[in-house]
Structure 1
Amino acid sequence: MPINNILVADDEESMRWVLSKALKKKGFNVDLAKDGDEALRNIKMHSYDLAILDIKMPGLSGLELLDRVRELKSDLLVVIMTAEASMKNAVEAMKRGAYDYLTKPFDLDVIDAIVEKVNRAREMTTQVTLLKEELKDRYQLEKTIIGNSPAMREIYKTIGKVAPSDVTVLVQGESGTGKELIARAIHFNSKRLGKPFVALNCAAIPKELLESELFGFEKGAFTGAVERKLGKFEQANNGTIFLDEIGDMPFDLQSKILRVLQEKEVTRTGGSQTISVDVRVVAATNQDLEEMVRKKQFREDLFYRLNVIPLHLVPLRERSEDIPLLVDYFLAKVCAELEVPVKTCSPDAIRLLTSYNWPGNVRELENTIKRAVILSVDPLLTAADFSGLRVQKGGEPVQSEDLSLEGIVDIKLRGSFTNMEKMESGDVYTMVLEQVERPLIRFVLEKTRGNQVRAADILGINRNTLRKKITELGIEVKKD
């Protein structure tokens, strides 16, 4: 990530003025401090990429301030300035962790060279860190995308075909099917490995904030914009941006996304300068974009620009043969997270889990396994541990929305629990709440025909809270 915010601390006003003017001309945000104490306050309050400090200042000296910086923000790069070209000062500054050392007077070209050097160093550090993290994530991802069904084998083949190119991919599928995992798999197997992977859920951010989140903003662009912020497209430069729930993006903002795809440049909110970006786009949605195009709810030109390679994830109910594999994976994962001995599922539990409809798909299965592991005292999970699921006669699976309080308490009293006094505090309340929340939210969404703003108003909760609950509980939102 290139440097953006710089602090200059010097007791000479003329030096502060010259450096500020030169750095601002290059497009940097610059804060000034007249002594070490003021500089320290700024460092505590703000985020800087580079600090240029005079070695002799009233209050804290540059070297003392350097020591404090190493304690407070070890990633902040510091350049020390001094009018005394002594070996002792230079050695002491570098020994304490300074990035570089300048002797006054100096040409402004020297500052330009240092800034460029800092940029290269930050870029290399960022790339190494990203590469390490992505290789680690890639290893984890290979173990996370579970499935050997024909549908999943087709997905694997498609990933292998499209990953090496920079073609735009549109991942479609119901909520909870693992669209972001697929997007990451495409990135990790592409030539952009080691570059940023930036994900943004378009449905999780209020409309009025989404544009500045995507494109960034300049200092002073609006109230509260106290410093320049890079948008997601700039953050993802040379890498991949994943635009989740693209169908929820406001119509007027869609034209700006189209422009980025066509022109490969962005303009920050409140700014006039266009910034070139080299970004691969992977978008995802659980909505029917073609139908939205017909209803004039989604731009046709943007749809065709995104839909170069369509990739459809089938719901879990259509690849039920993968459920036993997923159950084994989630049991091992959850037990490791909770630091409890690994549990297994009995054949009757597997039959129940395999026959259930899973409207919340893989995410709902994971949450169901987690709940059973937490509530059960036995190493073997049976069908009774999944009493929140049941199958109707005739084989059509449904969710049991009305598990009785007696049934919940009975689950808690099984095994080593012999009376109410020995029950762990809070568990029953949490389980009852989960059983009530899902049907209530589904009912209100049905009555409002999928209008989340109206549903949130009826429920008396924030819209973002409702969206979070919809995701957590694996609720499918059907819009008319």
Structure 2
Amino acid sequence: MKKRVYIVDDEPKIGNLFTNVLVRDGYEVESFISPTKMLKALDESKRPPDVILADMMMPDMDGLELLELLNEREVKAPVIIMTAHSSVQTAVEAMRQGAFHYLQKPVNLEEMRALLERALDLYGAHKELEQIKDEQQAKYAIDGILGASDPIAQVRDTIRTLSDAANTTVLFSGETGTGKNLAAQTLHYNSPRRKKAFMEVNCAALPDNLLEAELFGYEEGAFTDARDSKQGLVEIADGGTLFLDEIDSMSMALQAKLLSFLESRTFRRLGGVEDLEVDVRVLCATNADLESSVKEKSFRKDLFFRINVVNVKLPALRHMGDDVLLIAKHLIGEFNRDLGRSIKGFTEAAKKKMLDHMWPGNVRELRNVLERAMIFATGSRIEASDLALARPGQLGDLHGDDASFHFPLGRTLKDLEKAYIRRTLETNDSSYADISDELGISKKTLWDKRKRYNLDEVVDR
């Protein structure tokens, strides 16, 4: 499709000249002798221009007034101002108000061609970015949080209410695999901050020193390998949202720095001396009981109160009744597209098997089970035998003939936890990340408990 150019100049000869040149260059051109007529055509047109060439000095309004009216209409097309030598300063002011650039009269045609190409490249990139953002917003529609049960309906209602509270800190809590990340992104993309960045960091995935550098950035020379300055996620997310997943795994020292930032919205890069201020919304997530962590003095009470302004609890799949079938139906549609299959649904026996299962891994487990079933299913519907579900007594995908766990009465909870973690590590050859997910704790917490209970003799991973 040809790129469309609007030309606005009160001298018809100039408009005709530029029109002839640009039509020969392959553009679709509309020429106007006044901004008023151009604005009328713009309001009535179903296809807006890709770029606008406008004279600075015209009888009914000048270029600055035209820019103001274009901004009111939210016209995204870049505007190139044409000006006489004596009005160059005014053209520079137009650029401050949003004009892409200016051409000095008499216009050099080669310069005009080059500037048009640059403007169109910029506009194309801008439209592509806007399309991506629109797709993200559609992907994270609030009604995209599936489920008809009361617990999930309450989650949607809460997110809908919080969408307008663009500065409120929110804590998402729930078991692993319940969709805390999805809920956080849904909140962001339905808030006034949706046009800015959504930056996520998993606090359990990085050691404390790297996590601090990732969050707050660093200056050149702050540590041995800091050869250049680097922005942190807090800075990059300015105007948008910062999502801190598994915040319970953050060290006490870093918790104190995070609290200071939340209170002041200012921070210093590592090795820096300048206080930097940002406007960012902070969302947090945890699968731990933070109130218990506060009592055990492994999480700061003041930080807990600061991030727990609103607590959105994501329900476990086993508490959502028939929603498991609703979500499974949606996932079948996804996997049909991704895997090139045409599975129509489930047999009644498969439905019963899914409803009877406890889903310790929640929606994440459901997705994994269905993906496997979709790959190996031989019929048009998923059979019960296609669903590789853990047996009662198993935790995820424990290996070995005896995956059950027995423990005598009369022992302490500490003894029980130690024995259960030992048994899980001994009978599961998955990675630490997978095992921590199955246990419902962070990888860092699993590592700490292994050290605390002297389980170093268990095979290292």
Same fold (TM over 0.5): yes
Contact 1:131–1:195, Cα closer than 8 Å, also in 2: no
**Stretch of structure 1 that moved more, 302-311 or 223-232:** 223-232
**1:466 is the counterpart of 2:436:** no
* Structure 1 residue 343 displacement after superposition: 3.9
C-alpha displacement at 1:185, in angstroms? 1.5
**1:250-293 CA distance string (max 9 Å, x none):** 11000111111111112111211111110001111000111111
Distance 2:434 2:138 in 1: 28
Residue 207 of structure 1 deviates from its aligned partner by: 2.2
Give me the whole-angstrom Cα distance separating, in 2, the residues matched to 1:126 and 1:220. Answer: 35
**Which of the pair has more CA radius of gyration?**
2
Aligned equivalent of 1:477: 441
Aligned-partner Cα distance in 2 for 1:303–1:169: 11
Q: Name the CA shift for 1:389/1:261 in 2 (closer, same or farther; >3 Å).
A: same
Q: Confirm whether residue 317 of structure 1 aligns to residue 306 of structure 2.
A: no
Question: What secondary structure, in the 3-state scheme, does the structure 2 residue paired with 1:167 have?
Answer: coil
Q: TM-score, normalised by structure 2?
A: 0.62
Give 1:325 deviation, angstroms.
0.4
Q: Distance in 1 between matches of 2:205 and 2:199?
A: 15
> Contact conserved, 1:388 with 1:399, CA < 8 A, in 2?
no
What is aligned with 2:197? 196
Which residue identity lines up with residue 197 of structure 1 in the other structure?
A: F
1:300 and 1:132 map into 2 onto residues whose CA distance is 43
Return closer, same or farther for 1:97/1:126 CA change in 2, 3 Å cut-off.
Answer: closer
Deviation of 1:338 after TM superposition, in Å, equals: 1.2
CA deviation string 1:289-311 (max 9, x = no partner): 11111111001111000001111
Assess, with a 3 A threshold, how the Cα gap between structure 1 residues 387 and 209 changes in structure 2: closer, same or farther.
closer
Counterpart residue number, 2:399: 436
Listed as ranges, the gaps of 5+ residues in structure 2 are: 1-106, 407-414, 450-461
Whether 1:167 aligns to 2:168 is yes
**Shift in CA distance, 294/450, structure 1 to aligned 2, threshold 3 Å:** farther
Count of matched residue positions in the alignment of Structure 1 and Structure 2: 326
Q: Is the 8 A contact 2:369 2:388 kept in 1?
A: no
How do residues 68-147 of structure 1 correspond to structure 2 at under 5 angstroms?
Answer: 91=111, 94=114, 131-142=130-141, 144-147=144-147
CA contact (8 A) 1:357 1:398 kept: no
- Return closer, same or farther for 1:202/1:161 CA change in 2, 3 Å cut-off: same
Tell me the residue number matched to 1:224. Answer: 225
Distance 2:306 2:125 in 1: 31
Q: Go from structure 1 to structure 2 and tell me whether the alpha carbon gap of 1:387 and 1:279 turns closer, same or farther (over 3 Å shift).
A: closer
Asked if the contact 1:345/1:382 (under 8 Å) is kept, the reply is yes
Change (3 A) 1:313 1:98: closer
Q: How does 1:393-472 map to 2 (within 5 A)?
A: 398-399=393-394, 436=399, 448=418, 466-467=432-433, 470-471=436-437
Aligned to 2:81: none
Distance 1:213 1:450, change over 3 A: farther
Once the two structures are TM-superposed, the CA of residue 155 in structure 1 deviates from its matched residue by: 0.9
SS of 1:181 mapped into structure 2: helix
Distance of 1:220 and 1:400 partners within structure 2: 47
After superposing the two structures, state which structure 1 stretch, 167-176 or 379-388, moved more: 379-388
Q: 2:298 & 2:361 partners in 1: Cα distance?
A: 25
- The answer (yes or no) to whether the contact 1:192–1:240 under 8 Å persists in 2 is yes
CA distance in 2, matches of 1:219, 1:323: 51
> Offset of 1:469 from its aligned partner?
5.7
Q: Specify the SS of the correspondent of 1:436.
A: coil
The AA in structure 2 aligned to 1:171 is: F
Instruction: Give the counterpart letter for 1:148 in structure 2.
Output: A
Give the distance between the partners of 2:336 and 2:182, measured in 1 at CA. Answer: 22
Partner of 2:376: 375
d(CA) in 1 for partners of 2:199 and 2:125?
Answer: 14
SS of the residue aligned with 1:199?
Answer: strand
Q: 2 CA distance for matches of 1:319 and 1:209? A: 38
TM-score by length of 1: 0.60
Deviation digits for residues 195-242 of structure 1 (CA, Å, limit 9, x no counterpart): 111111111122221000000111222222232211111111001111
Question: SS at 2:335's partner residue?
Answer: helix
Partner deviation per Cα, 1:391-419 (whole Å, 9 max, x = no partner): xxxxxx55487xxxxxxxxxxxxxxxxxx
Aligned counterparts of 1:253 and 1:457: Cα–Cα separation in 2: 33
- Cα drift, residue 98 of structure 1: 7.6
Contact 1:359 1:475 in 2 (8 A): no
How far apart are residue 320 of structure 1 and its match? Answer: 2.1
| CA deviation map 1:32-67 (0-9, x unaligned) | xxxxxxxxxxxxxxxxxxxxxxxxxxxxxxxxxxxx
How far 1:136 moved relative to its partner? 1.0
Counterpart secondary structure, 2:399? helix
Q: State whether residues 130 and 196 of structure 1, in contact with CA within 8 Å, keep that contact through their aligned partners in structure 2.
A: no
1:159 positional shift: 1.0
| Distance change (3 Å), C-alpha of 1:138 and 1:92 | closer
Deviations 1:136-158 (A, max 9, x none): 12212236421010111111111
